[in-house]
Structure 1
């Protein structure tokens, strides 16, 4: 069973996501375009392309199409009926469907870089922190050293544990975070 808190974590780790309200619902948008919301009765609504909606409907029998003025625009399912992993995947798909093309391409490139060798960022910082750093062009520990602790923590996906792991890796190389 997932919760609004888990939905919030899944959405806010993505670039340029803002939380607000829409018709009294908790809602999430990217550059002003809504992609996820939660109804007062606990149903998550996700704007998805038709093929993603069809797959979600097949995987979740309690789900239903999300329709606006007769046009299918996505998928709705009770939060209690979806597991965290599926929710994360659907949230990402919804974000990609609503994000501007360049921003989506930037995240896709960061994900590809995170999956391939090349940089020397420690794996122990976690995938969200790795993606956040790669999304800002930081691929090496030397580049990490050019930032302060506060700057790193300001990135969505980078938490205290990731900063600690990065600091320890920098220390082993004789480097430190700025200021």
Structure 2
């Protein structure tokens, strides 16, 4: 085989390897498929230390695109308060990170970034304005593939206070 032929074969192999979905990407795709469909459930949200937790009922729809999920819907507290919620999260095959945007907080859209371990994605929330005295919180999204989705937010309720669970939603796939 000539050296030119070897170079072209090596280049072709490199291109195929670069364009083919990796095992990791295929695993993430299988995980992301779990979020498709309509989800209905309830939970609680605590805005700050001065208020009691609000019980909420939520309905969201999960859509899937390559290496990306989009979850959009509404949560209702009592009979009159309703808030639109959404998360658009993409998986970066190169870095292994999940990144995206969460919409639904009173301070505006927040950036999300984190990693997955097993059935849980742990995301840092970067708020656009201070929430409870700081600019970050943690969101944990758990989907074991059994038709149940759990979303937890952990933050401090007072500046410098202990980090604790401030919201939890349990949703079931319809």
Shorter-chain TM band: under 0.3
TM-score (norm 2): 0.28
Q: Based on CA coordinates, which of the two structures has the bigger radius of gyration? A: 2
